[in-house]
């Protein structure tokens, strides 16, 4: 294997060693996670915009589900192809491309004249959301030292829920201040252009993933990036590990679907797909997308529901802070199972109280308290662990393929929840809908207890060796 003569960062200063490696790592983390902020804002903004779209665009339960879920359908394909493209062209370059798609998709949604154009524009925006959901965690995992990888990767989850909170706050402000004005939902959507521009500009100055550079044979640039992001001693030690594993993976060639015939790779793939499914079948996004409507049906008025929904966003952010702290103290597997038990219990209680309490303000506050409890477990345990484990369990040569396929399944399940929820609500009512999610939650608990491994305190290279050894004992 010979070193390549060019790469996305070979002609600028982005790979030159910097004196303050901690600041360089922190800056790379903040800038790249603007992709997570956009992910969160674009998935959360529909929560408050939808009631106003219903009036302006004349949405039915079917078209309401299509407008919401078209983004999720696009995200599935963005995730599937984004991972492969990031393997071929580099994490940094693909994040920059995604920033442009975020910008174009947001503007198309903002100026959509009818439902058909809105559905298409949301699909395009979804391509960026799905691509970011794969590429940003992988980029963060590959620039992070193993001891800090958990906290750094889950900062993307923090930015996702921060984006959702910002969407809820802007929705409430615009709805309560200008709610009688026509087209207020367009102002809710267009705000997302600002972080899209910031992401594109910022990534121009960020380094490429050192592990991707090594996989391309650019070992000189690999060492240079590591020296920028680590102390000199740490950079040299990690460089030797990355180089050795990159050479081994290069000899085995780039991963493909044929590699699933290898038992240990197939095991990892099944774990990744399972993680994706159990993160979504909790029904979390029924609350993130339709929270305002759930609260309105529970007893709040439309504008009051917009304001009350901010509580869901606030608890999501606070819980994610707790989750980041817990990742340094508690095993990933234990956090995941605890979170699944908590969310399933909350779903069961939502179904019960919405059944026995009469519609009114009291029921509204009870349901709000339970959705907040649900999100505390979801965002404090399940979501950060899911995205972190997906970014770290796959070997280098299959990281883009495995992460992309897992995220594809995640977004397809998300799409089914987003599309089906308003129709389930209309067909069987609020309580029975949440009973369905509670039953699915029990299945998620059983899967996690049986199949999910522990990955805490292992380098990405150690994890690869661990799974190989695990397969060898069977």
pLDDT (average), residues 23-48: 93
pLDDT (average), residues 376-392: 88
Name residues whose C-beta falls within 8 Å of residue 232's C-beta, 6 or more positions apart in sequence. Answer: none
User: Which residue's entry shows tokens 């799409």?
Assistant: 415
Q: Would you list the domain boundaries of the chain?
A: 21-206+252-472
Q: Across the chain, what does the average pLDDT equal?
A: 86
pLDDT in tens, 43-96: 899 988 988 898 888 888 889 889 999 999 999 999 888 878 888 899 999 999
Separation between Cα atoms, residue 281 and residue 320, nearest integer Å: 19
User: Which residue's entry shows tokens 């599309």?
Assistant: 419
User: Which residue's entry shows tokens 């050795």?
Assistant: 244
Four-CA torsion 445, 449, 453, 456, nearest 10 degrees: 70
Separation between Cα atoms, residue 446 and residue 369, nearest integer Å: 26
pLDDT of residue 235: 86
Report the CATH fold assignment for 21-206+252-472. Growth Hormone; Chain: A; (1.20.1250)
Q: Which residue has the higher pLDDT, 6 or 84?
A: 84
Separation between Cα atoms, residue 130 and residue 98, nearest integer Å: 9
pLDDT(1) > 80? no
CB-neighbour burial class of residue 241 (10 A; exposed 0-12, middle 13-18, buried 19+): middle
Length of the chain: 474
pLDDT(4) > 50? no
Separation between Cα atoms, residue 462 and residue 456, nearest integer Å: 11
pLDDT of residue 16: 44
Q: What are the backbone dihedrals phi and psi of residue 444, each rounded to the nearest 5 degrees, phi first?
A: -65, -40
pLDDT in tens, 125-150: 999 999 998 899 889 988 988 778 77
pLDDT(12) > 50? no
* Closest listed residue to residue 397, CA positions, set 136, 264, 211, 240: 211
Concatenating the DSSP letter of every residue in 312-353 gives: HHHHHHHHHHHHHHHHTTS-HHHHHHHHHHHHHHHHHHHHHH
pLDDT in tens, 448-473: 999 888 877 766 667 677 677 655 54
Name residues whose C-beta falls within 8 Å of residue 28's C-beta, 6 or more positions apart in sequence. Answer: 143, 206, 207, 229
pLDDT of residue 19: 53
Q: H-type helices in 357-398, by residue range?
A: 361-377, 383-392
Separation between Cα atoms, residue 357 and residue 352, nearest integer Å: 9
* Closest listed residue to residue 153, CA positions, set 311, 329, 386, 367: 386
Task: Report in angstroms the alpha-carbon separations of 209 from 68, 148, 157, 193, 240.
Answer: 33, 16, 19, 26, 16
pLDDT in tens, 102-116: 999 999 999 999 999
Separation between Cα atoms, residue 272 and residue 293, nearest integer Å: 32
pLDDT in tens, 197-247: 999 999 999 999 998 898 888 889 988 999 999 888 888 888 888 888 776
C-beta of residue 254 within 8 angstroms of C-beta of residue 87: yes
At residue 113, the 3 state secondary structure works out as: coil
Tokens of 184: 């207020």
* Closest listed residue to residue 442, CA positions, set 339, 332, 333, 341: 341
pLDDT of residue 96: 97
pLDDT (average), residues 407-433: 88
Q: H-type helices in 58-183, by residue range?
A: 61-89, 91-110, 115-143, 149-178
Separation between Cα atoms, residue 333 and residue 445, nearest integer Å: 11
Longest dimension (CA), the chain: 71
* Closest listed residue to residue 391, CA positions, set 142, 196, 217: 142
At residue 128, the 3 state secondary structure works out as: helix
Separation between Cα atoms, residue 234 and residue 225, nearest integer Å: 12
Q: 407: pLDDT confidence band, cut at 50, 70 and 90?
A: confident
């Amino acid at each position: 294997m010979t070193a390549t003569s060019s790469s996305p960062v070979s002609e600028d200063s982005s790979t030159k060693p910097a004196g303050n490696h901690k600041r360089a790592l922190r800056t790379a983390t903040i800038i790249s996670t603007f992709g997570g902020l956009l992910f969160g804002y674009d998935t959360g903004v529909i929560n408050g915009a939808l009631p106003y779209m219903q009036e302006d665009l004349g949405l039915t339960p079917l078209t309401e589900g299509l407008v919401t879920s078209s983004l999720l359908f696009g995200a599935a394909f963005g995730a599937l192809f984004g991972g492969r493209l990031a393997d071929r062209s580099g994490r940094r370059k693909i994040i920059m491309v995604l920033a442009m798609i975020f910008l174009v998709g947001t503007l198309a949604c903002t100026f959509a004249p009818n439902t058909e154009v809105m559905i298409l524009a949301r699909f395009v925006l979804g391509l960026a959301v799905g691509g970011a959901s794969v590429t940003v965690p992988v980029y963060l995992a590959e620039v992070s030292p193993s001891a800090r990888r958990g906290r750094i990767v889950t900062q993307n989850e923090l930015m996702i829920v921060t984006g959702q909170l910002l969407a809820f706050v802007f929705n409430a402000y615009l709805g309560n201040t200008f709610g009688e004005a026509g087209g207020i939902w367009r102002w809710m959507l267009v705000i997302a252009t600002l972080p899209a521009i910031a992401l594109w500009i910022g990534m121009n100055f960020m380094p490429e993933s050192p592990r991707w550079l090594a996989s391309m044979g650019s070992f000189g640039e690999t060492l240079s990036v590591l020296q920028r992001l680590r102390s000199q001693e740490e950079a040299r030690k990690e460089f030797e590990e990355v180089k050795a594993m990159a050479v081994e993976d290069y000899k085995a060639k780039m991963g493909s679907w044929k590699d699933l015939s290898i038992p240990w790779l197939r095991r990892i793939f099944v774990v990744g797909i399972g993680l994706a499914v159990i993160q979504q079948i909790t029904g979390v996004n029924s609350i993130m997308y339709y929270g305002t409507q759930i609260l309105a049906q529970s007893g709040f008025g439309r504008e009051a529901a917009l304001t009350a929904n901010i509580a869901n966003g606030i608890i999501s952010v606070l819980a994610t802070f707790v989750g980041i702290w817990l990742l340094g103290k508690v095993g990933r597997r234990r956090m995941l199972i605890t979170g699944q038990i908590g969310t399933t219990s909350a779903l069961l209680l939502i179904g019960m109280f919405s059944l026995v309490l009469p519609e009114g303000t009291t029921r509204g506050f009870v349901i709000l308290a339970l959705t907040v409890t649900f999100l505390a477990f979801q965002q404090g345990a399940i979501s950060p662990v899911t995205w972190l484990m997906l970014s770290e369990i796959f070997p280098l040569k299959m990281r883009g393929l495995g992460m992309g396929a897992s995220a594809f399944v995640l977004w397809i399940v998300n799409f089914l929840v987003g599309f089906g929820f308003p129709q389930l609500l209309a067909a069987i009512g609020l309580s029975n809908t949440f009973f369905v999610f509670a039953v699915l939650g029990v299945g998620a608990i059983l899967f996690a207890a049986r199949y999910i491994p522990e990955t805490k305190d292992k380098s990405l290279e150690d994890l690869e060796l661990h799974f190989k050894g695990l397969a060898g004992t069977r």
